[in-house]
């Protein structure tokens, strides 16, 4: 049985924990949280042991009557694989601690590509991560592009890709972003950051991407033009 921990228990972490819990060859050791909020309380309600991301904040959880199994180091000590779902830039701060516990790490796409030996998309380059101590799952947008382009590359060859990403302004709960009533280039550079990110998965593809943020909370939309090498 593979012991899996989830570092972070927010929008992504909750879904990862539920997915791992139904795998026949995996078990959830626990989940970690930095703040004693409603998501931390829901971890216990869903049967997951909760660990404090910072040892000196265990008291904050106890004051709110949220049971904590211990600091995150105790969780890592019982873990074979940790899936990191913390905010961008936070996962890298745990890299040395994971190495000290000889834990395999799956980082989320908000981390810089240098955080792991390679980036990962199951449809495009699954074998590249086999046997590695760490990998980085690329962002949702890059994953979508890789899934769309890979079968076309396999069937026809791809000479070039031009993609425009129409991006939702925020999730319904992201009130800190304020009223969303603009249509703006995001980012303003061409190509957008999705181009180098996609090349970590498909390094031989000639790709250019641009991004536009719109006043919506529903989803992202990709408009992709692919030029095949075969007809």
Active site residue 121: no
Sheet containing strand 184-185, strands side by side: 184-185, 207-214, 158-168, 221-228
Q: Which residues pair with 81 in a beta bridge?
A: 4, 104
Closest CA to 49 of 63, 32, 62: 32
**Contact assessment for residue 51 and residue 32, using Cβ atoms and an 8 Å cutoff:** yes
Cα three-residue angle 83-86-89, rounded to 5 degrees:
115
The DSSP H or E segment spanning 225 is strand 221-228
**Contact assessment for residue 198 and residue 207, using Cβ atoms and an 8 Å cutoff:** yes
Catalytic option among 2, 99, 122, 140: 140
Q: Where are the beta strands (DSSP E) in 53-190?
A: 70-71, 81-84, 104-107, 119-120, 134-137, 158-168, 184-185
| Residues in Cβ contact with 30 at an 8 Å cutoff, skipping those fewer than 6 apart | 5, 6, 48, 49, 50, 51, 69, 75, 78
Helices and strands per DSSP (H, E), number in the chain:
8, 12
User: Which residues are part of the catalytic machinery?
Assistant: 140
């Amino acid at each position: 049985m593979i012991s899996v921990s989830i570092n972070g228990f927010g929008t992504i972490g909750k879904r990862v924990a539920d997915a791992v819990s139904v795998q026949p060859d995996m078990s959830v050791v626990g989940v970690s949280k930095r703040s004693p909020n409603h998501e931390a309380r829901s971890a216990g309600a869903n049967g997951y042991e909760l660990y404090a991301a910072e040892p000196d904040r265990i008291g904050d959880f106890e004051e709110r009557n949220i049971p904590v199994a211990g600091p995150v180091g105790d969780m890592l000590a019982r873990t074979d694989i940790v899936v990191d779902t913390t905010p961008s830039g936070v996962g890298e701060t745990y890299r040395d601690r994971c190495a000290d516990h000889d834990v395999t790490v799956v980082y989320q796409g908000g981390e810089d590509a240098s955080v792991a030996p390679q980036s990962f998309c199951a449809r495009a380059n699954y074998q590249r991560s086999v046997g590695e101590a760490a990998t980085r799952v690329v962002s949702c947008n890059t994953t979508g592009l890789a899934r769309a382009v890979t079968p076309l590359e396999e069937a026809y060859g791809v000479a070039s890709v031009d993609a425009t990403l129409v991006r939702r302004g925020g999730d319904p709960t992201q009130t800190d972003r304020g009223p969303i009533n603009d249509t703006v280039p995001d980012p303003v550079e061409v190509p957008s950051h999705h181009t180098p990110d996609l090349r970590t998965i498909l390094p031989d593809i000639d790709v250019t991407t641009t991004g536009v943020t719109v006043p919506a909370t529903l989803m992202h939309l990709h408009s992709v033009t692919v030029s095949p090498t075969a007809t």
